[in-house]
Amino acid sequence: MTSITSAGALAARIDGTTPSDIASALAVLVADGTLAPGDRLPTVREMAMSLRVSPATVSTAWQALSGAGTIISRGRAGSFVCDTTRRDTAPHTRRLAGHIEATRLDLSRGTPDPRLLPHLARAFARAAPHAATASYHEDPVLPRLRRLLEEQWPAPEHSLTVVSGALDGIDRTLQQVTRFGDRIVIEQPTFPPLYDLIDAHDLVAVPVPIDAEGILPEALAEALSSRPRVILLQPRAHNPTGASMTPARAAQLAEVIRASPRGGDVIVIEDDHSGAIARAEEATIARHLPDRTVLIRSFSKSHGPDLRVAALGGPASVVSQVETRRSLGPWWVPRLIQHVLTELLTDGESVAEVSRARAAYASRQRRFAQALRARLGERAGVGASDGINAWLPVDDERAALVSLAAAGIRVAAGSTFYPEQAAAEDGRDRIRVTVGMISGDVDEVAQAVARATPAD
């Protein structure tokens, strides 16, 4: 019996002779499991002979598949279907991370442009003289940083602490306020690691749709009938859609919670991961329900991912439990890092750098949206995305990934932002493009995205 990985068998499954035709057909075979991780593909020359095309055509297809993370070249050993299984990440996070292959322009990571982060050398130099802490028993939050956070915090009633990033804050809060089998309202789509956190805490997700202003009030009202313990949302620069909650929507959602017979037992967790670089004004349910809201504000995207620091504010009963539990592990965020963050938040030049980054991201979003609409009109489907990501409809996710990879551009598959076997309500495939990483080649990227979205 002829193996499916033989050149002749593969050629029989391919309709068309362009690089895009070849790459798309093989991507389908990988996606449906016909080609399994680790399968060795025929050589470029073998496939070219079977398809009766030039080796350059097959080579271009192979490069597109490699750029999309579907196959990997191992030199003289040949090309193989990628095994994207990673044991250092949780399942939904793994789907987002996938296989990392060098590409000309990586717009898949959802990370800030390193060129727009404030310079750390000055902050470290200013912080160093104050960082010789030798005690285990000092306040886990530097007094100066605490005062600074309190001055800017939207809910004066909140107690404040510092944790090791937004996901750490969410994890620690869920650990204190939920029990096995509790329900948790979560936006759909959403950031894949949040699904993994829900699974890790043995919670039951109650997905709710969102629009350009956040969670839909009527959908939240319906979800509350399931008696959830937690509502987990992203108030600004929602990942992946770029939506930002408005103050009016925050007030509406707070009223829905108040009015619900089940609302009295709910804790709201807000993941404000992009606050300082989001152009939307601050909107938070904490202003309306401070006794039931935990607000987590990360400084990773605005000041540096490697700082791994976020402020967490909420009811004293919750925050004290979080601090007590952290005292059995990391206890405190390194005070050197807290000193550095304090300098970044107070130094005039650092503040200006973050302000310039916010303006740059907004400009890149605007220019990209204009360039895409110029090519696709209303079919572009690009809204007023905030922060660094744009959420775009495509006719076929896999084909779009391969088409963009052929142009040397990597984007994130929209399906990774849904639970497995779930899909967008409108049935459209989508991709997430980290527009914040596009600097001087906006038109080129827009053209490549337009080519990946064929006419109806």
- Looking at residues 265-279, what average pLDDT do you find? 96
Q: Which CATH architecture has domain 134-346?
A: 3-Layer(aba) Sandwich (3.40)
Count the helices and strands in the chain (H runs, E runs).
17, 15
Contact present, 277 and 358 (Cβ < 8 Å): yes
Contact present, 266 and 292 (Cβ < 8 Å): yes
- Looking at residues 125-143, what average pLDDT do you find? 79
Determine the Cα–Cα distance for residues 220 and 210; give it in Å rounded to an integer: 10
Taking only the tens place, the pLDDT of each residue in 387-424 is 999 999 998 898 899 889 888 899 999 999 998 766 66
Question: Does the pLDDT value for residue 2 go beyond 50?
Answer: no
Instruction: Report pLDDT for 86.
Output: 54
Determine the Cα–Cα distance for residues 440 and 451; give it in Å rounded to an integer: 19
DSSP string over 363-399: HHHHHHHHHHHHHHGGGG------TT-EEEEES-HHH
Look at 59-63, 311-315, 377-381, 392-396 and tell me which has the smallest mean pLDDT: 377-381
Residues 6+ apart with CB under 8 A from 97: 84, 86, 89
- The correct answer on CATH 3.40.50.1980 for the domain covering 7-81 is no
The dihedrals phi and psi of 341, each to the nearest 5 degrees, come to -60, -40
SS3 of residue 136 by DSSP: coil
Question: Does the pLDDT value for residue 102 go beyond 90?
Answer: no
Determine the Cα–Cα distance for residues 50 and 10; give it in Å rounded to an integer: 9
Domain locations in the chain? Answer: 7-81, 91-116+351-451, 134-346
Asked whether this chain's domains 7-81 and 134-346 adopt the same fold, the reply is no
Cα dihedral across residues 188, 192, 196, 197: positive or negative? negative
Task: Sort 121 into a burial class: Cβ within 10 Å, 0-12 / 13-18 / 19+.
Answer: exposed
Determine the Cα–Cα distance for residues 366 and 18; give it in Å rounded to an integer: 34
pTM of the model: 0.82
Nearest to 271 by CA among 302, 239, 297: 297
> Greater confidence, 73 or 179?
179
Taking only the tens place, the pLDDT of each residue in 38-68 is 888 999 999 999 999 998 999 888 888 887 7
Pick the CATH number of 91-116+351-451 from 3.40.50.1220, 3.30.1050.10, 3.90.1150.10, 3.40.50.150: 3.90.1150.10
Half-sphere exposure of 387 (CA within 13 A, CB side): 29
Contact present, 411 and 262 (Cβ < 8 Å): no
